[in-house]
Amino acid sequence: MTERLLSDIEYNYKTICENIAAAAESSGRKKEDITFLAATKTVEAEYINYAISLGLDHIGENRVQELLSKYEAYNLERTKLHMIGHLQSNKVRQIVGKVDMIESVDSIKLAKEISAQSLKREITTDVLVEVNIGGEESKSGISPEMLEDLLCEIAELPSIKVQGLMTIPPICENKQKICGYFENMRKLFIDISAKKIDNISMNVLSMGMSDDYVEAIREGATMVRIGSALFGARNYNI
Ligand SMILES: *Cc1c(COP(=O)(O)O)cnc(C)c1O
């Protein structure tokens, strides 16, 4: 098991907050304009709750099973819980009503199931549409070319509300290349916003992780998802 120290988490949390504030300012925004979401996969609830006690107000899990196993233990009084990992339609009913947002919607089939399960519970579920900005065959996410059609289809569904876009760009050796992907996402985000599709909001652009969140904010991210830079390295990757 990874050894974690609360003092490391505290130091990391403060450092990340400072970096976020500086990057926000350098892109003409305020630190309040950027949401710091902690990616909590493989991290025990005790450490997650410690980060929450420091002021962290958004957490995200990757797997339904892991989310459910920790659900009762999270301190969610002032903290929002997001699903950020790939989601299968047949697992949607297990998390609708528990999560504040699903960031990984990339098909109409998945959107329809979220809509149906939300309608049943008489709630509306906020979602982001995940874009495969690098065009990688192995990755989830909708292609930029298909995005508008998917948004128009989701807009017709009840009880599901698109709030923006999310992406996980390809792993890049250099920062310049990754900035190119972030820039393409920002352009897509602005283009889609300008189309003013009924019932679709573009409030959130979720991109940037531990190694590149500063660059992502400079390129327009409004939400960054940070795991290892906060909690330390993971023993395995998901
Ligand atoms: C794990 C994960 C992150 C954070 O990754 P780090 O490199 O540890 O910061 C962000 N987004 C998603 C979807 C993830 O699965």
Q: What's the pLDDT at 88?
A: 97
Q: What's the pLDDT at 4?
A: 78
Question: What average pLDDT does range 49-64 have in this prediction?
Answer: 98
What kind of architecture, by CATH, is found in domain 3-231?
Answer: Alpha-Beta Barrel (3.20)
Burial 65-91 (b: 16+ CB within 10 A, else e): ebbeebbeebeeeebebbbbbbbeeeb
In this structure, which residue's CA is closest to atom 11 in ligand 1?
Answer: 225
Q: Which atom of ligand 1 is nearest to the CA of 238?
A: 15
Q: What's the pLDDT at 85?
A: 98
Amino acid at 10: E
| 194 alpha carbon – ligand 1 mean position (Å) | 29
Q: How many CB atoms lie within 10 A of CB 27?
A: 14
Question: What average pLDDT does range 39-61 have in this prediction?
Answer: 97
The percentage of residues in the chain with a pLDDT greater than 90, rounded to a whole number, is: 92
Query: 209 CB under 6 A from ligand 1?
Result: yes
Among candidate residues 137, 128, 132, 150, the one with its CA nearest the CA of residue 203 = 128
Q: What's the pLDDT at 138?
A: 84
Query: 227 CB under 6 A from ligand 1?
Result: yes
For the entire predicted model, the pTM comes to: 0.96
Query: 166 CB under 6 A from ligand 1?
Result: no
Query: 225 CB under 6 A from ligand 1?
Result: yes
Among candidate residues 165, 163, 226, 160, the one with its CA nearest the CA of residue 23 = 226
Query: 62 CB under 6 A from ligand 1?
Result: yes
Question: What average pLDDT does range 209-221 have in this prediction?
Answer: 97
Query: 188 CB under 6 A from ligand 1?
Result: no
Q: Which pLDDT tens digit goes with each residue over 101-142?
A: 999 999 999 999 999 999 999 999 999 999 999 999 888 999
Question: Which of 209, 212, 226 should be mutated for ligand 1, with most atoms under 8 A from CB?
Answer: 209
In this structure, which residue's CA is closest to atom 5 in ligand 1?
Answer: 227
Q: What's the pLDDT at 238?
A: 56
Q: What's the pLDDT at 235?
A: 73
Q: What's the pLDDT at 2?
A: 57
Three-state DSSP at 5 gives coil
Q: What's the pLDDT at 236?
A: 64
